[in-house]
Amino acid sequence: MFRYAAKRTLLSSNRVFSANLATSTAAAIPDLSAMKLDSNNSQDLYSVVKIYKKPYLVTKGDKIVLPFKLKDAEVGDSLILNEITTLGSPQYTYQCDNGIPQEVCEVSAKVVEITKEPYYEVVRRKKRCRRRKTIPVEPFQTHLMINELRLK
């Protein structure tokens, strides 16, 4: 029935509220009404979103530059970022290492452009060997714009 117990914390400016919640396979939905009232209609919200296991701190209107090309993403595509580890407002912060459920908040982004970095060459060589190998490098970059960050 219950698989594991997760520790979820709600931090205030002065106090730390923590609870050990036994969660089933469906994640428990936390009560974030205090954060919703404090967030000034989602204008002051921020979140930490993981994209390919790398955390990015975002707010509404931010531009993220990813040092790689997203698979199957084209310019103009809208993405829903669902791996959120932290939600916050000026007074409150809610953090969960396992991820915050999608029923609580929504973060969406739009692919603005996909570009390449300037061309450069990397020189590789092995120890005790005179031979050098030059490798041309021109890595991709993906630019995302955060459209929406809101509590449900």
- Residue 25 scores a pLDDT above 70: no
Joined together, the tokens standing for residue 123 give: 């020189």
Q: What does the pLDDT read at residue 107?
A: 93
Nearest to 102 by CA among 53, 54, 30, 42: 30
Q: Which of these, 83, 81, 80, 82, lies nearest to 97 by C-alpha position? A: 83
Residue 128 pLDDT level (bands cut at 50, 70, 90): very high
Q: Are 12 and 88 in contact (CB under 8 A)?
A: no
Provide the pLDDT for residue 78: 94
Task: Yes or no: say if 24 and 2 are a contact pair by the CB < 8 Å rule.
Answer: yes
Q: Are 84 and 49 in contact (CB under 8 A)?
A: yes
Residue 22 in this model has a pLDDT that exceeds 50: no
Domain count, the chain: 1
Q: How far from each other are the two terminal CA atoms of the chain, in whole angstroms?
A: 28
pLDDT (0 to 100) of residue 6 = 38
Q: Domain limits at 111?
A: 4-151
Listed residue (121, 49, 118, 132) closest to 87, CA to CA:
49
